[in-house]
A and B are shown apart, each in its own frame.
Chain A
């Protein structure tokens, strides 16, 4: 919902926007100026007079100040010329100044070089230390890598040897097992053959025994069939 506009703002806006005549009528300006002149007790002419008088006074003041400035400048120049030092001989001045300048220059140069060397030494030392640390670190890394490689190689060899021994062991075990199996089979076949022979022999023996028993039985039956008289007679 739109908030209603403030009545004060609306009023201010209305007052600010209202139509107002652009300026006062010319008569009013004339009247006002006349009133002001009357109140100030003079007229425009008086103001003009004051203005022209002020201008003259200003020009006089300006001339005075300009003259004073010229005077001050010229006196300053004259005093400067009079109190200034005489012209010196250049060679004399050079010979007087050269040793001290040279001395100062040498001193400054030596100080400069000393400071430069000190700073260079410190810098060089720092760089060497850095380089040394770097080399040490690289060497340690390389050594560690090489050691690791050798260790790995040896471990591989060891694993291979163990594997070979295990394989050999398995082969010998397998050969022994085969031998045992072969012996078992051979024993089995021998046993079977022996048992078969035994069975055949036993069968033959049984057959023989049966025949003997039959013979024996047949002989005993004939003797019982002969009459007692015959027997007796025979016996007599």
Chain B
């Protein structure tokens, strides 16, 4: 049986797991829940098999839990966004506008990730947010490297479509709100 000092594991890998989850979920409460669930899942995994790379396992589990939460959010339509429903205020200062734009992009990407199949979302997050190689992703998810590539391609295609659609809808809603203001 593998003897694991969980105090050490949590302290060592906690910051990475926290950042991974927070980046996807964007708030403290969900991230804290995801954090705990991740380590509990890791405990269960360690009971079944010998864990060699805790970092990769925890990142994979954290991503999976975060994607689950995103999907849950999408289902319940409780999108907790800081700027949801807010109207954009035209300003001459480019920085606030850029910040708002960045926030919008992040929120849209999170929503789009919540709409993807879980495995595709996981592969995407592991590749682009955690910079894992195809081989590492395939090993962690117990799939072939080529399958990882295919899943990533599909995820990108779907995300692009969803983001473009969201962009069009956003543009239309802005135009409507301007008309109302006028």
List A residues at the B interface (Cβ < 8 Å).
Answer: 6-8, 10-12, 14-18, 20-24, 28-29, 31-33, 35-37, 39-40, 44, 47, 50-51, 54
B74 on interface, CB distance cutoff 8 Å: no
Among residues of A, the one whose C-beta sits closest to the C-beta of B166 is A7
Among residues of A, the one whose C-beta sits closest to the C-beta of B127 is A12
- 1/0 per position for B1-44, CB-CB distance to A under 8 A? 00111110011001101110011000000011001100110010
Report the minimal beta-carbon distance from B44 to chain A, rounded to whole angstroms: 8
**How far, in angstroms, from A182 to B140 measured CA to CA in the complex?**
136
Among residues of B, the one whose C-beta sits closest to the C-beta of A40 is B43
Report the minimal beta-carbon distance from A223 to chain B, rounded to whole angstroms: 175
Indicate which residue in B10, B128, B160, B163 contacts A36 across the interface (CB closer than 8 Å).
B10
For A35, what are the chain B residues with a Cβ–Cβ distance below 8 Å? 36, 39-40
Evaluate whether A24 and B15 lie within 8 angstroms (CB atoms) in the complex, with A18-B23, A33-B6 already known. Answer: yes
Interface of B is mostly: helix
- 1/0 per position for B123-159, CB-CB distance to A under 8 A? 0000011000000000000000000000000001001
For A37, what are the chain B residues with a Cβ–Cβ distance below 8 Å? 6
For B31, what are the chain A residues with a Cβ–Cβ distance below 8 Å? 24
Q: Are B36 and A39 closer than 8 Å at their CB atoms?
A: no
B102 on interface, CB distance cutoff 8 Å: yes
**How far, in angstroms, from A31 to B33 measured CA to CA in the complex?**
11
A sample of 18 inter-chain contacts (CB < 8 A) reads A7-B163, A7-B164, A8-B160, A15-B109, A15-B110, A16-B23, A16-B128, A20-B22, A22-B19, A24-B14, A24-B17, A24-B18, A28-B35, A31-B36, A32-B36, A40-B43, A44-B5, A47-B6
**How far, in angstroms, from A228 to B4 measured CA to CA in the complex?**
214
For B159, what are the chain A residues with a Cβ–Cβ distance below 8 Å? 8, 11
| 10 nearest CB pairs, A to B | A23-B15, A11-B109, A24-B18, A14-B105, A11-B105, A14-B102, A36-B6, A8-B160, A7-B163, A20-B19
B106 on interface, CB distance cutoff 8 Å: yes
Indicate which residue in B3, B32, B102, B129 contacts A50 across the interface (CB closer than 8 Å).
B3
B69 on interface, CB distance cutoff 8 Å: no
Q: Are B106 and A15 closer than 8 Å at their CB atoms?
A: yes
Q: Are A24 and B40 closer than 8 Å at their CB atoms?
A: no
- 14 extra A-B contacts, CB within 8 A, seeds A23-B19, A35-B40, A36-B43: A7-B163, A8-B156, A11-B159, A11-B163, A12-B109, A14-B102, A15-B129, A16-B129, A20-B22, A21-B18, A28-B35, A32-B14, A32-B35, A32-B39
**How far, in angstroms, from A7 to B23 measured CA to CA in the complex?**
18
Report the minimal beta-carbon distance from A172 to chain B, rounded to whole angstroms: 113
Q: Are A14 and B106 closer than 8 Å at their CB atoms?
A: yes
Q: Which of A12, A24, A39 has the most CB of B within 10 A?
A: A24
Q: Are B14 and A23 closer than 8 Å at their CB atoms?
A: yes
Indicate which residue in B7, B11, B17 contacts A44 across the interface (CB closer than 8 Å).
B7
Report the minimal beta-carbon distance from A30 to chain B, rounded to whole angstroms: 9
Report the minimal beta-carbon distance from A51 to chain B, rounded to whole angstroms: 6
Q: Which of B4, B17, B109, B129 has the most CB of A within 10 A?
A: B109
**How far, in angstroms, from A139 to B103 measured CA to CA in the complex?**
98
B73 on interface, CB distance cutoff 8 Å: no
For B128, what are the chain A residues with a Cβ–Cβ distance below 8 Å? 12, 16
Report the minimal beta-carbon distance from B62 to chain A, rounded to whole angstroms: 11
